[in-house]
Amino acid sequence: MLRDMMIHTVASDQSYSRGVRYYQQGRVEELEPVGKTGRTYQAQVSGSSRYHVKVSLSKDGNGIEQYDCDCPAAQQYIGACKHVVAVLKVIQEEQEQQETGEKSPAALETVIEKLRAAYDVRRQQPARSAGSRRMFHFFAEADHQEYRPQSGERQGAYLIPRLFVEDMYGRTQCWLEFRFGTGRLYVVRNLLSFLQAKERGEDWALGQSGSVNLSRIFWADPVSEKLCALLQDARREEENVIPYRPAGGYHYTGYDSYLFEQKRFKLSPEHLGRFLAVMGDTSFEMRINGAELGDVRPVSGAPTLGVRVQDDGGNGQVRLDTDDLLPLDDGCRYLYHDQCIYTVEPKFARAVRPLWQSFSAASHIEVSEADMGRFFEEVLPMLERAAEVQVDPVFLERYRLQPLTAELYIDYAGDGVAVQVFLCYGDARYNPLSDKEPPLRDGRRLVRDLRGEQEILGRLKHYGFRPERDRFVQKKEEESYDFLTEGLSELPDWVDVYYADSFVKRPVRPMPKVTAGVRVSETDLLEVTFDMKNLDFQELMDILDSYHQKRRYHRLKDRTFVTLEDQQMQALADFVDHVGITRKQEGTAGVVELPLSHAMYLDELSRGEDSLHLERSRAFRALVRDIRHPEEAETEVPESLAGVLRDYQETGFRWLTTLASHHLGGILADDMGLGKTLQVIAFLLSQQNDTDPPSLVVAPTSLMYNWLDEIQRFAPQLRASAVAGTKAERETLLAAVDEKCDVLITTYNLLKRDIASYENIRFRYCILDEAQHIKNPVTQNARAVKKVRAGGYFALTGTPIENTLTELWSIFDFLMPGYLLTHKKFKTHFETPIVRDQDERTMKDLRRHVMPFILRRMKKDVLTELPDKVERRMVNEMTPKQEKVYQAWFIRSQKEFAAELRANGFGDSRIKILAILTRLRQIACDPSLFLEGYEGGSGKLDMLEEVVGEAVESGHRLLIFSQFTTMLAHIGERLRRLGISYHYLDGSTPALERIRLVKSFNQGGAPIFLISLKAGGTGLNLTGADMVIHFDPWWNPAVEDQATDRAYRLGQKNNVQVLKFITKNTVEEKIYELQERKKSLIDQMIQPGENFLTKLSEEEIRDLFARR
């Protein structure tokens, strides 16, 4: 028999629904059988015109083999049109009537006669011409050929389920059987074989004469596809659970199957649920205990069941009105009822299970008169959860069947809570602790809801209540909070709660809304106040103490609980903790005073979506605006530099002046080559005042005269002096400093020697150039500069962080002592969580602290006219002798490394490890750096000779950096041999000589400049170069970048090539790859960068000594 699903699968949803509507409207006329088989029908369907439809069914009448219609839609679109669907629905109706026996033989004969009469009418119509007959024949034949799949074409297939349910030994068993086919459907007699054939793309027999290759089919409807996936998943799951049998086992699949048995797929409750989910609202055939039920529909939800409680002479008779209820699993999650299978919720399943167990063997149950009271108390409440129960009115005259309600009266009991309970049935009210039974007034027996009563009393017991005279009491604060916040909300809606007069009407309340206000005082301090609505400052701190103890609540003095489990608490705690507010800081009227340096942090902290609301005064907003947007400041650039400074340099100048006007310090951290020195000179010139003391610039030795030269060039009106000469000369200069200059320039080395002479001088500003020189806070450099007294402090550095966050702390400790706490607290609160735990939240908080005081611009962002920089790694092979030496020393180094770790452990071996690695790197450059008498050559030096020769010949000018001065000497010797002149600079080059060499190179002197990386990596302007070679990689790539930027900086007119030489199959390659993989702290805080060798983990350093 045709099924709806089969008809639906050959048509689109729209065609199917319209075809059903045509069928219901009776638009199908003149349906008649055609031919001798009785499987082909033709009909006329009335639409916008009359259309001729012809369909052919499979031999068993269950499948659709062919269909045709002469409407335009059928010619244009794939699939059955609405006219075909309407005809199929009429045929289905005839099949159903014949199958159910609704038509007698005489009635069937009448139908046949009508069909014959219709056929005779059609024969009496005018005959078509021979030409038209041929036309119809040719088009019908073409359509027939198009419909039948050709060899190699993919065919649409269906998988149609049938659900079987049998009672086996008192238990319900369910299984599925399937029919499969591309037109006519055939029973799948071995599901496992079918699944294996489908997986392998093999042929599958269809009946006795045909077959189909399963790799050439597609599922013609989504349900078939999902059913196949369900079977495949079940098979795979079973294979993963059941141990495989040895070869020669009973099943070809190699394992015993509990789910598949020939054509049966046995359904566990889980698989039954999956099957119903796959079917959705699609009906399917079902058979129960051999009885065919026809189409059954899955439904999500509970069936409507009816139970009647009738009087039988004083006894009771309980009847289940539903006679076809059948659970399909032990847990009653899946219920058959009235041509539907219901998937019910677990709560309903638990209620319906005892109902089914009671009535599965009997249509009704007799309950004696003596047991009726118990029935009403114990059974009726459960019945009402699963069914609609009708109780004979006779019983209402004997029993009081009224719903249970309860009243709870709450009061304090010490630190805990007391509850007095009254259970009520109508006007019958009693206390279960002081009354044995509810009072009876009308002679009827009271039917108590024992389950409901137990629910109330059990809930109190769960929250720690114990009987005490006529009430329940619990005396622990924690349990009281749980009951008031959770327990009360869990009570059923038939419970009323009343509070005693002594009990606060809102015993638990959310944290009162707290807002903060901030203003700038006349003494340049921030005054922070809190608006806390009925809370004073000390009580607020008490609440925060409870929050930090990870308590869920805080109890106020009036015994009210304040919940601490909302987002406002986190925002408030962050605000107070991060700003560093303590009880001791409370001033008059609850005002907390903070340094002005906290302004930007306070503002940033309160801008998040869940942050504490901060009321800002006008002066505070102006301060924040000036620092955040220095380009908008009204400060005028000194007239002599108005046409000299670029836009970004003017912004840097205004940023410095804004900070200085508020007595704040900062780090000018512009990319190398952007003119940090010029911006500071402009700032110092704007601050020049004959009545003010001079400013102090502290720079590396190599840059002292560079500062003097730059001031004389850009601001000759500033009187500048270098603190140089003998100690006596320096002391004389310092003694008369107030009278002779505006700017003093000294070096880190000289400052720490002369610090005693500086302690009595107060400078206008103290400015550190290359401030990374004080990155270690315990060095003499750092200690000396922090003793200098000045009205403001600034630092210049392109790398505020090179290795650790302590370096950043040390610079801030110079700028604004205490702003980032003490070093010990900084490590605890910031460095350890960030570095060790990768704590993003702490990293974000540190950024909020420091970023307002760091101005960082990159060349690519502000110098759009700067030419390109191209970086390239060049790998060289070692000479044969060099490789032999390297391998021997590498093996020796491995042994030394292992012995050192065994002797001293990793933590105490870093210096020795670095020495071993340095030795290997020297051999990678040139073994003669390390081994006397070595004459085997250097692959890297040979490559340099080729590159330099071609570069100089092409007119390029080169900077060559190396960390080894002896290597620079070897390179110089090779250049002399080639007849190429060069400049040379290392740590021993005097400051004035450095300036001369730089000018000579930039003005077209020697084409090559050999530079020691450590001595010349900073402070030099070598824009005359357009090629940079790093002969050997330095531990810290940031230092390499600084060196590169000697050429790639403001003033560069040419593209710059950067070549990094790496020796193949050496530790250089491993270090380079490791640095590329890792990201450094400077990347997270300031700029892109890499991690550094000195901070590698033990595992990473072990890898350096491992062979590839």
User: What is the edge-to-edge ordering of all strands in the sheet holding 515-520?
Assistant: 592-595, 525-531, 515-520, 614-616
- Return d(Cα 941, Cα 876) in angstroms, integer: 9
Residue 497 lies in a domain: no
- Return d(Cα 838, Cα 647) in angstroms, integer: 38
Same domain for 1088 and 988? yes
Point out the domain boundary residue: 625, 660, 695: 625
pLDDT at 139: 47
Read off the pLDDT of each residue in 773-780 and give the average, rounded to a whole number: 94
Amino acid in position 292: E
Same domain for 546 and 591? yes
Which of 707, 646, 702 shows the shortest CA–CA distance to 681? 707
Residue range of the domain that includes 468: 400-480
Band of residue 664 on the pLDDT scale cut at 50, 70, 90? very high
Band of residue 146 on the pLDDT scale cut at 50, 70, 90? very low
pLDDT at 659 over 80: yes
Band of residue 590 on the pLDDT scale cut at 50, 70, 90? low
* Residue at token pair 């790197």: 921
pLDDT at 656: 96
Residue 487 lies in a domain: no
Same domain for 330 and 181? no
pLDDT at 608 over 80: no
Question: In the chain, how many domains are there?
Answer: 7
Band of residue 958 on the pLDDT scale cut at 50, 70, 90? very high
- Return d(Cα 1044, Cα 1022) in angstroms, integer: 10
Same domain for 763 and 828? yes
Alpha helices (H) along 410-510: 450-462, 477-482, 488-490
pLDDT at 165: 95
Residue 255 lies in a domain: yes
- Return d(Cα 1086, Cα 800) in angstroms, integer: 8
pLDDT at 255 over 60: no
Q: Mind listing the pLDDT tens digit for each residue in 454-465?
A: 999 999 999 999
Cβ within 8 Å of residue 527, ≥6 positions away: 518, 519, 520, 521, 591, 592, 593
- Return d(Cα 380, Cα 355) in angstroms, integer: 11
Residue 359 lies in a domain: yes
Strands 334-337 and 340-343: antiparallel
- Return d(Cα 739, Cα 733) in angstroms, integer: 10
Residue 243 lies in a domain: yes
Read off the pLDDT of each residue in 725-740 and give the average, rounded to a whole number: 85
Residue 486 lies in a domain: no
pLDDT at 116: 42
- Start-to-end CA distance of the chain, whole Å, equals 72
* Six token digits for residue 28: 């199908």
Same domain for 123 and 164? no
Mean pLDDT (the chain, rounded): 84
- Return d(Cα 211, Cα 69) in angstroms, integer: 29
pLDDT at 1085: 53
Point out the domain boundary residue: 379, 396, 413: 396
> Exposed, middle or buried, 153 (CB in 10 Å: 0-12/13-18/19+)?
exposed
Cα–Cα separations (whole angstroms), residue 408 to 115, 305, 480: 79, 35, 15
Same domain for 601 and 676? no
Cα–Cα separations (whole angstroms), residue 33 to 39, 41, 93: 7, 4, 15
**878-881, long-range: CB < 8 A, 24+ apart:** 878/924, 878/938, 878/939, 878/1063, 878/1064, 878/1065, 878/1066, 879/936, 879/937, 879/938, 879/939, 879/942, 880/936, 881/927, 881/934, 881/936, 881/937
Same domain for 932 and 1029? yes
pLDDT at 886 over 70: yes
Q: Mind listing the pLDDT tens digit for each residue in 668-707?
A: 998 877 889 999 999 999 998 878 899 999 998 878 888 9
Q: Mind listing the pLDDT tens digit for each residue in 166-195?
A: 988 778 999 999 999 987 889 999 999 999
**How many C-beta neighbours within 10 Å does residue 357 have?**
11
Point out the domain boundary residue: 344, 379, 396: 396
Same domain for 117 and 94? yes
Same domain for 229 and 315? no
Amino acid in position 449: D
Q: Helix or strand or coil: residue 553?
A: strand
Residue 200 lies in a domain: yes
Which of 1068, 1080, 1078, 1069 shows the shortest CA–CA distance to 1099? 1078
- Return d(Cα 335, Cα 300) in angstroms, integer: 10
pLDDT at 783 over 90: yes
Q: Is the pTM of this model over 0.85?
A: no
- Return d(Cα 945, Cα 975) in angstroms, integer: 8
Same domain for 53 and 10? yes
* Six token digits for residue 882: 């060099």
Residue 498 lies in a domain: no
Band of residue 1044 on the pLDDT scale cut at 50, 70, 90? confident
**272-281, long-range: CB < 8 A, 24+ apart:** 272/174, 272/328, 272/329, 272/334, 273/333, 273/334, 273/343, 274/230, 275/161, 275/163, 275/176, 275/227, 275/230, 276/334, 276/341, 276/343, 278/223, 278/226, 278/227, 278/230, 279/161, 279/223, 280/223
Same domain for 709 and 850? yes
Same domain for 961 and 1043? yes
